[in-house]
Amino acid sequence: MHHRLLARRRPLVVAAALALGLAAAGPAAGQSPTIGEVRVEREGEVVTDPTLLSLVETTVGEPVSRSEVRDTIAHLVGLNAFEDVRVEEEPLSSGAVRLRYVLVPTHPVDRVRFEGVTGVSEADLRRVVLDQGGAVPRATQADTARQALLRTLRDRGYPQAAVEVVVEEFHHPDRATMVFTVRSGPHAVIEDLRITLADGGPNTTLVEQPDLMRGAPYDKPTVDRILQRWTDRMHARGYYEARASHGVLFPPDGAVVSVTLTQGPIVRVAFAGDPMSESDRERLVPIRTEASADEDLLEDSARAIEAFLKQQGHRDARVDFERVAGDGEVVITFTVSRGPRYAIGAVRLTGNASMPAAEVRTWLRVREGQTFSESVLAQGMAAVRAEYRARGYAQVRAQAKQAVEPPDRPADTQRKVDLEVEVAEQRA
């Protein structure tokens, strides 16, 4: 009589299977058979490794114990060195039983090998496999890697490619090699090239075409690079909405490539109102750099110009933009209004009963005659509150009131703003 139980890597499932299996195999409750022999086998060989044998809790001469068998399997599975651990109970002529622990070791893949006519460099194919399974692919990922290789070969112009994969196992030590046999087949040539302009009416003229040619071997990365170069050239001309994509079909006689181009209007940027240097325009309105003129970028650019002018003391600076579409072009006009340039006039402190005015002014970081900047003032006020808190004034409050001095003449471009810094010292 021969009984087999299969234990895998889930201890709870293993325990349940053992309990049911041994109950069915053994005598009635209270009459468990005696263990006459315990054997641990690994790929047909008897294990003598004392480290592995020390994990076996079942003992010759003792009755079969479901809990000891369960614990032994849990110990062996916990090594993460075995795909399966099978427990077999065999009757002996003496009336006792033999317990055989059959270990099925894992064979981790430590090599990937390519054979056959690949058509593509081995380095590229290896990269595809490693992208699927990491630095050490698992045997269970073999077919996933095979499918990825087929897709890659198709993208590289080999639609008739075939890929087979086997995992060769080796022993002592246990390891495996994943072997891919590749038959790339013929390289498809671009027999037909179809270019479609997705935007514009029937009278729209395509400024320039991508440098694609019939008769060239099809290769998706190469086609993508050519289309990207076309897009970059269009952006450099001011067609910031230019985009390109392609698809491919493989009839029996080659490759049919369909290219879809979006040219978009030419975008021109203009400035009105107060002048700005060319370098400041390029830096603050990065339409050319970003190759984009979407609404978010335009709004960010207007805010960037305002912030830049305010740092220079133009407290009332304002920037607006307008987008006007014309015949095949879009004109974006930024209107800049600097306003007067402000300097700090008088700085008065109130409420600082516990702190010397000179020390608070040092924290404030602004002084009379300095170019006025909202951001610098905000940083100074934050520093005042932080210094007070560091000295135990946890509930301190501080604010700055601004008062613009009337100019001597309305046309004056230089103005002064007085500051009154109010501190409310509160320790708790």
Domain range summary for the chain, segments of one domain joined by +:
3-105, 109-183, 190-259, 266-337, 341-424
Residues of the chain with pLDDT under 50: 1-26
* CATH, range 341-424: 3.10.20.310
Per-residue pLDDT, 10: 36
Helix pair angle (374-390, 357-364), 10° resolution: 130
- For 179-213, write each residue's pLDDT tens digit: 999 999 999 999 999 999 998 766 778 889 999 99
Same fold, 3-105 and 266-337: yes
Q: What are all long-range contacts of 395-403, with beta carbons under 8 Å and residues at least 24 apart?
A: 395/426, 395/427, 395/428, 396/423, 396/424, 396/425, 396/426, 397/423, 397/424, 397/426, 398/422, 398/423, 398/424
Say what the pLDDT of residue 15 is. 37
Q: What is the pLDDT at residue 133?
A: 63
pLDDT the model gives residue 158: 96
pLDDT on residue 25 = 43
What is the gyration radius of the CA atoms in the chain, in angstroms?
40
Do the beta carbons of residue 223 and residue 212 sit within 8 Å? yes
**Quick one: how far is CA 50 from the chain centroid?**
47
Write down the CATH number for the domain with range 109-183. 3.10.20.310
- Which residues face 176 on adjacent strands? 109, 169
Q: In what order do the strands lie in the sheet with 162-170?
A: 109-117, 175-183, 162-170
CATH of domain 3-105: 3.10.20.310
Give the Cα separation of 370 and 366 in Å (integer). 7
pLDDT at 30: 55
d(CA 235, CA 315): 36
State in words which class domain 266-337 has: alpha beta
Q: pTM of the entire structure?
A: 0.65
The pLDDT of residue 100: 93
